[in-house]
Structure 1
Amino acid sequence: MAAAVLQLAAYWPGIMYWDAVRQYGQAVSGAFDDWHPPAMEWVWRRLIAVQPGPAPMLLLQAGLYWSGVALLAARARRGWLIVLPALLPFALATLGSVLKDSLMAGAMLAAAGLGAWAGREGRWGLRAAAIALLVFAATLRFNALLAALPLLVAVLPANWRRTRARLAACTLAGGVALAVAMPLANHATGAKRSGVALSLVIFDLGGVTEHSGVDVFPPLPVAEPVAVNHRCYDPARWDSYAWWVGEPCPIGFALIRDTFAARHQSPYVFWLRAIAAHPLAYAEHRLRHANANMRFLLGHEFERPVQPQSAPNPWGYRIARNPLQRAFDWLAVQTCRTPLGWPICWIALALGMVYAAWGVPGVTMPLALSAALYGGGYLVLSVASDLRYHLWTMLAAGLAFAFAVDSGVARHRLVIGSLPAIGVALIGIAARLLW
């Protein structure tokens, strides 16, 4: 409760990134598109009737977050261990911003807490609430399925998962339910299609073109597309192909979208064929992006991990900078310069905890799998390198480690499970010192 009050006081009424400014505008108007999750905008529109601005959404995501932490801590023998990952400065600062990543993390934490209390008893009310929160989380990010599926399977009754066949059936059914959550939510809210999935296609086509030296874009009215793409391509993010940057690339989102439409050609089939024709160039592009996205072999930190203030917006919503917020912000920036802010270390820790918790009942394994799958998914499902994308990966991996310690996992297994994280942290430190 103390942590929740301090965190809310520091960031009241909530920081609004550019994404949140756009989402709030759609929540006010009621005209949704699917560039950002319309399910979140639909909820926000309901909250506006209570209180305009970011404050109600900040309360919602913080309420889910801290409720989940409290439920998990109360289930452990040493609750203070479980609270520690939630106090990560980056998490506190990111939770102060109204973001789909923060709301998703809150929903996932609350679901994990409810699932931990459901146990093996027939507490179907808790199970149903946990499942509903996981389905809601799946409407907030297209790749949230990877994070939610292990927790969804774990919250089902143990008898349903007793054999391998039953476990496979539960996994398949859960995967289908989570996969259709976002499309159904988008349809139910009447959201217009924006073509947001094209961002991944365009970024990968740009990467393959850059590393193969061959133009793999559809035929475009652009002279020397390989040279033009070379000037535009950035392995860290796709934004240069978008319309919101200062100097948009001539090979831009609208041009490529319209070209595919004019040719009556599926961009996704075209994309897969380009990857199949140049697999090594695609692999190099993806590995270079993952290196930046996961903060691995870098000579410098290329962007601020958290934002200290709202983006300019027509409603004038800003936070009042205060000593507590400045302290949280400073701690977040400083700790993100260490392995605590490198997603690669948390993914490695999650993989290690999968080994350490193998065969051990409880929430350690589903949390570790959730972190590993979600964080690892950014190897192929990413177009930008914002650290906020890894909020859940960091939290779930940290919680998995805390529960492994709390549940009495054998010390040698904990040590072995921690070695991957230690190893990549040392390599990352060496890279920063040498570069």
Structure 2
Amino acid sequence: MAPDFARGGPLQDAPARENKRSDFAFPAAGVMAVLLVTVFFTVASYPGFMSYDSLEALRQARSHVEGSQYPPFGSYVWRVLDWIWPGPSLMQLFQNALLLGSLVWILHSLRWNPIAQVVTVIAVAALPPLTGTMLVVWKDVAMAAFYAAGFAALVHARLRALPGKIWIAFGVLLLFCGMAYRFNAASGALPLLIYAVWVARARSGRREIVRAALGGTGLVLVLFVLVLVVNSFRFPSMERLERNTNMDGIMRYDLIGISRFSGESVTPARDGGMVDVAYLRKIYDPRHVNITAANDVEHRVAVQEPGEIARYWVAAIRQHPGDYLRHRAAVFREYIGLHRHEPFYVTHPSVDENKLGISHTPNALTPVAVGYVWKARYSILERAWVYYVAGLLSLVVFLPKRNRRFAGEAVAALGSGLLYLAPMFFISPAADVRYNFWSIWGALLCLVFVVSSLLAARSDGRAS
């Protein structure tokens, strides 16, 4: 069903809009679809599937945050929700509803009719890489939910809202929350904050785009500093949290990968020498650093101090830059599903053993949801690269067209997804499908704006 542009689509110039009651009508049908889908996910996985890092986030929410590999911001949010309704269910409902509700908010701002909103929500939620991730209480969903909500507020400010400044400030606040959920989220926030500055200035022209880019970059830096403070200190005591150890594991993984592809060992052994290449080739797995570590059954690979392993890592990259890139490319191909075998870790259909008293008992909906995701892992729709290509192709076809009504929104959405993806080539420790979650959402939102522009152009042509 096409959006209903026949009754007057959203205007490009915000000041020229009229404050009509229909502009603020509640999207009841879309919201009802969101509620049904989110309840289905929670019931099917009740009380919400949880992996180790999900349980660790809840444990810290119930005790005190410790930092290290896990940004504490998610635990602060969970602390509030766990107080209202103990366990993972409310957290899962909250992040899934915020994410899909933000999609409805965007569609409503674009004046998509109720049927189109319902169909789009269900279709998007049913995409295999999204379904598999939303069944689990993972911070990837929460981060994407805050990014989507922040972007929705900014789109609303440009297309529908009076006054817009309030919605812009609200959108920036939501984007800050999304940045705080993951240590690597800042790159994805950059295009959205550039868009925020562009909307706030409400002016057109190439110079305004440059000014918005500079302003958005400055805003990212300010918010990034605030994120560092939030995720580095325990509130309200302001005690320093444990150091983030993620990069230590990634560097150790890179050393094994460089050794595997170069044929020369650059990986220190526990006995003080270097681990032989044949053994490293045997344990190396481009799908996950933890699988590689688990394969080290003889415990040959040394666990070094941060400064020491960093020196080995820098020296290895300088000596074997091509082999470092070959290793990283192998991980990245697994990451985006650019291979013939099934994508890695499409969902986590259980609650790991824990001391929090949380367990999962399958119900009638569990095999329906999990079975669907499990069967779909062989589908082309499970592969993240498909969505990135679709988003890029839509812009290539769309941008040369005369009507570029939502070009800014399309570029911001896809740019956010791809900029979030780009650093993962170098820093990803694994190829979990869930790590693509926001990037896939950015590509899908780009398609929404491209379709809206094309339909608006057709509607304008008929009106003339």
**Residue identity matched to 1:365:** V
Bigger shift: 353-362 or 190-199? 353-362
Alpha-carbon deviation of 1:404?
Answer: 0.9
| Letter of the structure 2 residue corresponding to residue 187 of structure 1 | S
Deviations 1:395-419 (A, max 9, x none): 22122113211221799xxxxxxxx
1:106 paired residue number: 145
**Alpha-carbon distance in structure 2 between the residues aligned to 1:141 and 1:122:** 31
Q: Which residue of 2 aligns with 1:377?
A: 423
Q: Is the 8 A contact 1:82 1:399 kept in 2?
A: no
- Alignment of 1:229 onto 2:280: yes
Which has the larger displacement, 370-379 or 308-317?
370-379
2:391 aligned to which of 347, 350, 355: 350
Code of the residue aligned with 1:73 in structure 2: it is: L
Partner of residue 309 from structure 1, selected from 339, 347, 350: 350
Superposed CA deviations along residues 255-304 of structure 1, whole A, max 9, x for unmatched, are: 4333x55xxx4x44543342122111111111111111111122x22644
> SS of the residue aligned with 2:426?
coil
5 Å-filtered alignment, 1:357-396, equals 357-358=398-399, 360-362=404-406, 363-396=409-442
8 Å CA contact 2:197–2:212 kept in 1: the answer is no
Rounded to whole Å, the distance in 2 between the matches of 1:166 and 1:55 is 43
Q: Figure out how many residues of one structure are paired with residues of the other and give that number.
A: 401
Aligned to 1:116: 155
Listed one character per residue, the Cα deviations across residues 140-173 of structure 1 (whole Å, up to 9, x for unaligned) are 2222122222112212243377525313312321
Is residue 2:58 matched to residue 1:17? no
Task: Classify 1:148/1:251 alpha carbon distance in 2 versus 1 (closer, same or farther; 3 Å).
Answer: farther
Secondary structure of the corresponding residue to residue 49 of structure 1:
helix
Q: Helix, strand or coil: the match of 1:225? A: coil
Residue 219 of structure 2 corresponds to 174
Aligned with 2:418: secondary structure?
A: helix
Deviation at 1:194?
A: 4.1
Of the structure 1 ranges 271-280 and 377-386, higher mean CA displacement relative to structure 2 is found in 271-280
Equivalent residue letter for 2:299: P
- Look up the equivalent residue of 2:331 and give its one-letter code: H
2:189 match: 148
Aligned counterparts of 2:145 and 2:297: Cα–Cα separation in 1: 35
Which residue matches 1:406? Answer: 452
Q: Deviations over 1:108-127 (max 9, x none)?
A: 22112111101166422211
- Whether 1:70 and 2:104 are equivalent positions in the alignment is yes
**1:353–1:365 contact (8 Å) kept in structure 2:** no
* CA deviation after TM superposition for structure 1 residue 32, in Å: 1.4
Greater alpha carbon shift after TM alignment, 203-212 vs 49-58? 49-58
Q: Which residue of structure 1 lines up, in the alignment, with residue 229 of structure 2?
A: 184
CA distance in 2, matches of 1:33, 1:161: 42
Q: Give CA-to-partner distance per residue, 1:91-112, whole Å, 9 cap, x none.
A: 2342121111111121122112
1:4 to 22, 38, 43: 38
Code of the residue aligned with 2:197 in structure 1: it is L
Q: Deviations over 1:280-336 (max 9, x none)?
A: 1111111111111111122x2264411221111123313342233322222222233
Larger displacement relative to structure 2 (146-155 or 302-311): 302-311
State how far apart, in whole Å, the 1-side matches of 2:101 and 2:170 are.
13
| 1:281 match | 323
Point out the structure with max Rg over C-alpha: 2
- The answer for unaligned runs of 5 or more in structure 2 is 1-31, 235-239, 458-464
- Cα offset, 1:385, TM superposition: 1.0
Cα 1:248/1:166, change in 2 over 3 Å: farther
Aligned to 1:250: 299
SS of equivalent to 2:348: coil
SS in 1 for 2:304: helix
Give the match's secondary structure for 1:321.
coil
Q: Is the 8 A contact 2:194 2:216 kept in 1?
A: yes
Q: SS in structure 1 opposite 2:225?
A: helix
Report the more deviating stretch, 392-401 or 118-127.
Answer: 118-127
The amino acid of 2:72's aligned partner reads: P
Equivalent AA in structure 2 for residue 257 of structure 1: Q
Residue 246 of structure 2 aligns with an amino acid whose one-letter code is: V
Contact 2:416–2:442, Cα closer than 8 Å, also in 1: yes
The answer for the alignment partner of 2:359 in structure 1 is 318
Answer yes or no: is 1:91 the counterpart of 2:91. Answer: no
Q: How many angstroms apart in 2 are the aligned matches of 1:86 and 1:361?
A: 27
Distance 2:368 2:214 in 1: 48
Deviation at 1:22, TM superposition (A): 1.9
Letter in 2 for 1:323: A
Q: Distance in 1 between matches of 2:82 and 2:412?
A: 35
Distance 2:175 2:297 in 1: 37
TM-score by length of 1: 0.83
In structure 2, distance between residues paired with 1:354 and 1:179: 29
CA gap of 1:225–1:204, structure 2 versus 1, over 3 A, is same
Structural RMSD (CA): 2.7
Distance 1:69 1:302 in 2: 26
Residue 178 of structure 1, CA deviation = 4.4
Give, in whole Å, the separation in 2 of the partners of 1:168 and 1:31.
Answer: 35
- Please say if residues 213 and 226 of structure 1, whose CA atoms lie closer than 8 Å, have aligned partners that are also in contact: no
Alpha-carbon contact 1:350-1:369 (below 8 Å) kept:
no
Which amino acid in the other structure matches residue 206 of structure 1?
Answer: I
- The one-letter code sitting in structure 2 at the alignment partner of 1:350 is G
Amino acid at match of 1:146: S
Match of 1:212 among 247, 262, 265: 262
* Amino acid in structure 2 at the alignment position of 1:250: H
